[in-house]
Amino acid sequence: MPAKMAAFLIESNRRSMLLQCWTWTRSMTTSKRVQDRSKLKRVHDLEVVTEKHKIASKMLFLMEVLKKEPEMVAPVRSLDQYRRQINLPKPHSLVDFIRKSPRLFELYKDQKGLLWCGMTNEAEELVEEEDKLIEDNMDRAAEYVTRMLMMSVDKRLSLDKIAHFRRDFGLPADFRTGWAQKYLEHFQVVKSPDGPEYLELVGWNPSWAITELEKKAVVGGTETKSTTPSMPGLLSLPFPLKFPPNFKKVYRIGGKLEHFQKLPYLSPYADARGLEPGSKEFDKRAIAVMHEILSFTLEKRLVTDHLTHFRREFVMPQKLMRLLLKHMGIFYVSERGKRFCVYLTEAYEGRELIQKPPLVLWKEKVLSLTGYRGKKKQIETFSDFSDTEDEDVIESNPEDGNVISS
């Protein structure tokens, strides 16, 4: 082990012991909810982005459900099982929810009066467009997933956990089978004795063990060191910061912000098992990991639950949420709804993502077609879509009749 690295780990252990002693002797304090602590630090622009994301996510989920159906249509009654996924608790009407986006979804009744939901021609064209964009994005997604495996302590990650990141990374729906088998030079699917499947790193790629922050520093001329592949070690690059105009730039841990930015830290790709939880070195390395993962995502945003699922794999603190809130200049946590989202602040200018990949532009197309426009129309019956007529067609569904009338 290089002398510089050994000295760094020894100092980290010493500070950790001092921190433990301080913890044992300090008096008990009252803790506040996350929402209460950060209430005055909300960024309106990113809260708007969060709200748009939630709306788009509901539409995308419903489109994906319909896409899996043989004719891309499904009985509305069968869609009721997905209320939780689209956050539509009873007694809210599923039919009313669908009718709010007539440019994406259409409703009609068959000859027995059963109500069906399908996609409009415009929505079906968007689905085809997304498939092509995902295919174009496959190589980039494979690189980012491989780099996540390289950052993980065991060099493998649960496929069930990776599934949480599927849309954030632009992975195809069949990523467990088709996609994973296309990149056997990078990773392979393995099954553990207790059942779960994992994606396991096949070979270390030194050229990918360079953080996005290092790459930007070289391009921007703030770092003279070459990005020639080598074993990852200590980094001293400061994190880009972006604060709300009314926020006072003072940290409440370890002194001023400048002091924290100057602290060296382990690369996310270096072995972190020698760091002691609770030390400044441990926390700053965790910040570097979160910065790297968020940099991989299409929208530089993740649901915080999805990050906390990887605490053990990426050697991150148990109270990850507190760390995100504490370093607000690097991250922004939106607390709207039951699930919080974390943003990489440097990636946004107001409400806009500075660099928008094709899949993000595609998502904005979907969002532009979401929401009710125009006068409500009478729901068509099956006979209206066919060349034959049936005198016995039921004009209303007894179960949903009170909500589908115009």
Q: Is residue 328 part of a domain?
A: yes
> Does 7 score more than 70 pLDDT?
no
Q: Which domain holds residue 353?
A: 126-363
Q: Tell me, yes or no, whether 249 lies in a domain.
A: yes
Question: Average pLDDT, stretch 234-252?
Answer: 76
Q: Which residue has the higher pLDDT, 390 or 202?
A: 202
Of the candidate ranges 145-149, 247-251, 318-322, 364-368, the one whose mean pLDDT is the lowest:
247-251
What average pLDDT does the chain have? Answer: 82
pLDDT score recorded for residue 309: 87
- Output the pLDDT for position 218: 81
pLDDT at residue 34 tops 90: no
Confidence at residue 62, expressed as pLDDT on a 0 to 100 scale = 96
The radius of gyration of the chain from alpha carbons, rounded to an integer in Å, stands at: 25
Q: What average pLDDT score do residues 267-285 get? A: 91
Q: Inform me whether the pLDDT recorded for 109 exceeds 70.
A: yes
Residue 34 in any domain: the answer is no
CB 105 within 8 A of CB 60: no
Question: Within a domain: residue 12?
Answer: no
Task: Tell me the C-alpha to C-alpha distance, in Å, between residue 222 and each of 161, 196, 213, 355.
Answer: 36, 44, 11, 21
Q: Is the pLDDT of residue 42 over 70?
A: yes
| Structure confidence at residue 225 as a pLDDT band (50, 70, 90) | very low
Count of other CB atoms within 10 angstroms of residue 58 = 18
Residue 22 lies in a domain: no
pLDDT at 43 over 80: yes
Which is higher by pLDDT, 370 or 388?
Answer: 370
DSSP 228-266: ------EE-PPPP----TT-----SSSSSHHHHHHS-EE
In a domain, residue 103? The reply is: no
DSSP state for residue 70 in the 8-state scheme:
T
* % of the chain residues with pLDDT over 70: 76
Q: Is the pTM of this model over 0.85?
A: no
Q: Does residue 222 form part of some domain?
A: yes
Residue 159 maps to a domain: yes
Return the higher-pLDDT residue of 216 and 255.
216
Stronger pLDDT, 108 or 21, i.e. the higher one? 108
pLDDT score for 1 = 54
pLDDT at 151 over 90: yes
Pull the structure tokens for residue 45: 């622009």
- Report whether pLDDT(404) > 50: no
For residue 193, what pLDDT is reported? 81
For the residues 237-253, what does the mean pLDDT come to?
72
Number of domains in the chain: 1
User: In whole angstroms, what is the distance from residue 82 CA to residue 63 CA?
Assistant: 12
b/e code 212-251 from CB counts within 10 Å (16+ = b): bbbeebeeeeebeeeeeeeebeebebbbeebbbeeeeeeb
CB hemisphere CA count around 52 (13 angstroms): 19
Per-residue confidence (pLDDT) for residue 172, from 0 to 100: 92
